[in-house]
Amino acid sequence: MSGKVSRRQAMGRVARGAAVTGLGLSAGFLVHKAEGQVVWQIDASKCVNSRLGEVGVKVCDLCVKECVVTQSAVRAVNEYSKCGRCCVCPAYYSVKSAVGRDGLPSEKLCPRDAILRKPIGEADPNDPANNFYEYVIDEAKCDGCGKCVMACKEPAGLSSIILKVRHDLCVNCNNCAISTACPKDALNQWPALKAVLGESAPA
């Protein structure tokens, strides 16, 4: 660099300056309007499996079929404070199956055996109905097929189980494949904090 700048070099500098300014301005605009992270989440009041009034319809399993993640990023989640803790849970047992020797339905509903049932406190073996049971969903097994969600829905159950996108499994696709396929438009992008902590309706 001998102090003297050739015409070509000067032009180059001007062009680079212009390009950097342009890039900077558009990036600045986007940063200015950025509103933090957004994540996909299911609106339980829209999802066929959990929406009240949709009784006797086919269970929708598009969350399993459409998700690009192998076991789907959707899981059934039991909101314990709403759970009836019934002895015969319609989401745990297939209530249409024959009654076994213990007086309980002989078949489970979950095809992946992902729901764990355990009595709360001491259970009287002679009177199992007179007790509370806790139903915990094993998230490693669940793939969000929605069978238990549909079965837990009022009036059969108390609608304590709903489908949720698990943000640690979801890869945050631009166009969530489930959302495109969902007939009820139940999957939408929510601001992350609201979706995870507040769980309110999408903004």
Partner 1 sequence: MSRRRAVLALLAVCVLGCLAENAQGQALHYERPVERAPQEKDIGGGYVTPKVQKPLPRRAWLEILDVALLAAAMGVSVWIVVKRRSRRWLVALTVASVGYFGFYREGCVCPIGSIQNVTVALTDPNYHIPMVVTATFFLPLLVAVFYGRAFCGGVCALGSIQELVLLKPVQVPRRLDQALGLLKYVYLAAAIWYAVLPAAQRDFVICRFDPFVSLFRRSGFAHMLALGAGFLVLGMFVGRPYCRYLCPYGGLLSWFSRLAARGVSITPNKELDCGLCAEACPYGAIEEMRAVRRKCLYCARCYAACPREGPLVKAFVPLGEVR
- Would you say 186 and 178 are in contact if contact means Cβ atoms under 8 Å apart? no
- By CB under 8 A, the residues from 70 to 109 that bind partner 1 are 70, 77-88, 90, 95-100, 105
Q: Minimum distance between the CB of residue 5 and partner 1, rounded to whole angstroms?
A: 12
- Would you say 177 and 41 are in contact if contact means Cβ atoms under 8 Å apart? no
And the tokens for 196? Answer: 């995870």
In the list 10, 59, 116, 196, the residue contacting partner 1 (rule: CB under 8 A) is 196
- CB nearer to partner 1: give 126 or 175: 175
Which residue is it, tokens 């166009």? 175
Strands 187-191 and 38-42: antiparallel
Which amino acid is residue 100, in one-letter code? G
- Would you say 63 and 186 are in contact if contact means Cβ atoms under 8 Å apart? no
The region of 12-20, 49-57, 111-119, 142-150 touching partner 1 under the rule CB under 8 A is 12-20
And the tokens for 109? Answer: 């509903």
Nearest-angstrom CA–CA distance, 119 and 116: 10
- Would you say 106 and 118 are in contact if contact means Cβ atoms under 8 Å apart? no
Q: Minimum distance between the CB of residue 166 and partner 1, rounded to whole angstroms?
A: 5
- CB nearer to partner 1: give 112 or 123: 123
In the list 56, 127, 174, 183, the residue contacting partner 1 (rule: CB under 8 A) is 174
User: Which residues contact partner 1 (rule: CB under 8 A)?
Assistant: 12, 15-16, 19-20, 23, 26-27, 29-31, 33-39, 68-70, 77-88, 90, 95-100, 105, 120-121, 129, 132, 134, 136, 139, 155-158, 160, 166-175, 192, 196-197
